[in-house]
Amino acid sequence: MQKLAAPSVPMEVRLAYARISTRTQEIQSQVDALEASGVHRLFQEQISTRVRERPEMKAALAAAREYRSLGAKVTLVVHEMKRLGRGALELLKVAEELRDAEIELEFLTGPLAGKHDPSGHGAALFAFFAAMAESERDYIRDKTLEGQETARKNGKAIGGVKVSDDDMLATALRLRDQEHLSLREIASRLVIRTGKKRGQHPAPATVMRMLRERDEQTATATLEPTV
């Protein structure tokens, strides 16, 4: 994390976040553009989009909430939308955090370039993220149904022997979210308790499917309107 001149509060505070996914990519062009836009603090990291826990993004959001608590108007500045997240569900999660904390979002380039206020006219952007997430869920669901229908037509069985249970899911979630282990590492820590595969470790693909289904269920629940 690079710290620039710390602003006094209350005022408008501009926090920047820059990210690259691999060592072969360069981050300096993002940094130069962000600094030229007049940001006060800059958070940057090299981390894959497949990694759910991004320390510098987490630190940027924590700093933004802290400045807001001191009465400052806060804007999170990012070079372009894809630096925030890999998929619509992840983008929606970040957008909801910004909206709940009343933090503005600004993109320097791309089709959504400009400043977006979640409580004002920029709320359309946050609605757009929600629509993207819903569209992504529909796409996944449709592709799953298409695959099942194709399997039925070909006379194949749908799915397989269920090897996961609630305890296994809870353990997998803890290993992923708290210990930040890979799918292969999580699979090596889990043991199937029933059926023909009892005593064996589940495949990493099984763990990925189990966690993805749980994430989709959670995301759907958060978007359902309350009565």
- Is residue 164 flagged as an active site residue? no
Q: Which regions of the chain does DSSP assign to beta strands (E)? A: 2-3, 12-20, 41-46, 73-78, 104-107, 114-116
Q: Which of 8, 21, 37, 188 is catalytic?
A: 21
Q: Compute the distance between CA of residue 156 and CA of residue 134 in angstroms, rounded to an integer.
A: 30
Going by C-alpha positions, the residue among 74, 68, 83 that lies closest to residue 33 is 83
Please give the C-alpha separations between residue 90 and each of 4, 7, 216, in angstroms, as whole numbers.
28, 30, 11
Taking 3-state DSSP, the helix, strand and coil percentages for the chain, each rounded to the nearest 5, stand at 50, 15, 40
Distance of CA 40 to the CA centre of its chain: 25
Going by C-alpha positions, the residue among 226, 183, 221 that lies closest to residue 89 is 221
Active site residues: 21
